Amino acid sequence: MTAPIRLALVGMGKIAHDQHLPAIAAGQSFDLVATVSRSGESVGGLPFFRDVYELAASGLEVDAVSLCTPPQVRRAIAQYCIGQGWHVFLEKPPGATLAEVIALRDAAAAKGVSLFASWHSRYADGVEPARAWLAEREVKRAKITWREDVRVWHPGQDWIWEPGGFGVFDPGINALSIATRILPRPFFVETAELDVPSNRAAPIAARVSFRDTAGAEIAMDLDFRQEGPQHWDIEVETDDGTLLLSKGGSVLTIDGKEALAHDADLHGEYPGLYHRFGAIVRAGVSDVDVSPLRAVADVFLRGRHISVEPFVE
Ligand code: NAP
């Protein structure tokens, strides 16, 4: 029996509360020992610190940190934590640029700590079965529909509209983290249109056409203005039936029939992420796949930016 990994949680916003705290409490591998919060938020009487510099200066024994801040400020925090010899879990997206994530990966390797670029949607129940099913079939085309109401899911998150906040690609990168995992061939951006509100720096909607190395089209439709039913769907047409991953990857149907066995002993995205983080720390390795971030970067490089009406929350 190995001792739990002593963890500090950094950035006590929506995802830290909604997912990290319950997943840490439910698992055996991590022991939450502190929080780091600019607003001074403590959890259950644990020590709290305003920033990671205060945490390091306190002398509290820490093995690892999970960084739940907005992406724009994550690199500097991660770099410092790696320097302290702490293992680092990065919320998605792992950074605001590709180069900074690669630099973090190299810094972690040089320091001998684990870096985890987490992609929570890849741990949804339907994703690995979908990958296995598609591996044996010929993909003809795919359609990604990711439409959610930004006012419901991201209230008050001004950082999402700033450069490096990704706008509608903040959820859209989740779809791409699934697509890059389940589709058998690499795919590339051919055309893209990004609708950017005239008072904001990041897109509120986008239409992208990717094509894979065998010529299959992967169309993506993202919209932050969706009211009513919300959509987080990936439909893949093959030579042997149509696969639909819906509800963000948690429901899998094939030709309209539910196709999940429900016999796995580990359910849920964040329990899966913490299981993986514990495993890579114990194995002394990192897990850094930048392919979803690279796809978003390519959309921003290759796309046409269209100014649309202002967005006021
Ligand atoms: P959020 O509610 O805005 O929380 C982010 C927290 O980071 C803030 O509450 C604040 O916590 C801290 N923070 C904000 N600005 C900072 C700065 N300049 N320097 C240092 N710390 C700062 O955002 P969120 O929804 O939790 O998202 C955080 C990350 O998780 C994003 O990358 C997002 O893509 C990812 N994520 C979000 C969701 C979701 O459903 N919301 C799901 C999965 C992943 P303190 O006041 O405690 O310092």
- How far lies 20's CA from each of 5, 25, 82, 128, in Å? 15, 8, 20, 22
How many helices (DSSP H) and strands (DSSP E) are in the chain? 10, 15
Give CA 99 to chain center in angstroms: 17
pLDDT at res. 260? 78
Categorize the per-residue pLDDT at 266 as very low, low, confident or very high, splitting at 50, 70 and 90: low
> Does the pLDDT at position 105 exceed 70?
yes
Query: At 253, is the pLDDT very low, low, confident or very high (cuts 50, 70, 90)?
Result: very high
pLDDT digits (tens, 9 = 90+) for 163-185: 999 999 999 999 999 999 999 99
Condensed to tens digits (0 to 9), the pLDDT of residues 187-219 reads: 999 999 999 999 999 999 999 999 999 999 999
For the domain 121-264+297-308, what is the CATH code? 3.30.360.10
For range 32-52, the mean pLDDT: 93
- The pLDDT assigned to 11 comes to 97
Q: Do 121-264+297-308 and 5-117 fall under one CATH topology?
A: no
Domain extents for the chain?
5-117, 121-264+297-308
The CATH fold of domain 5-117? Rossmann fold (3.40.50)
* Dist. CA 69 → ligand 1 center (Å): 4
Instruction: Read off the tokens for 147.
Output: 């439409």
Question: What pTM does this model have?
Answer: 0.97
Residue type, 258: E
> Which whole-number Å values give the CA distances from 310 to 83, 197, 204, 225, in the listed order?
42, 5, 10, 12
The average pLDDT across 229-240 equals 98
- Indicate whether 265 pLDDT > 60: no
- Which residue puts its alpha carbon closest to atom 20 of ligand 1? 69
Tokens of 275: 């299981």
Best residue for ligand 1 mutational test, from 9, 15, 20, 296 (most atoms within 8 Å of Cβ) = 15
User: Who's near 258: CB < 8 A, 6+ residues apart?
Assistant: 251, 252
Pocket test for ligand 1, best of 37, 69, 74 (most atoms within 8 A of CB): 69
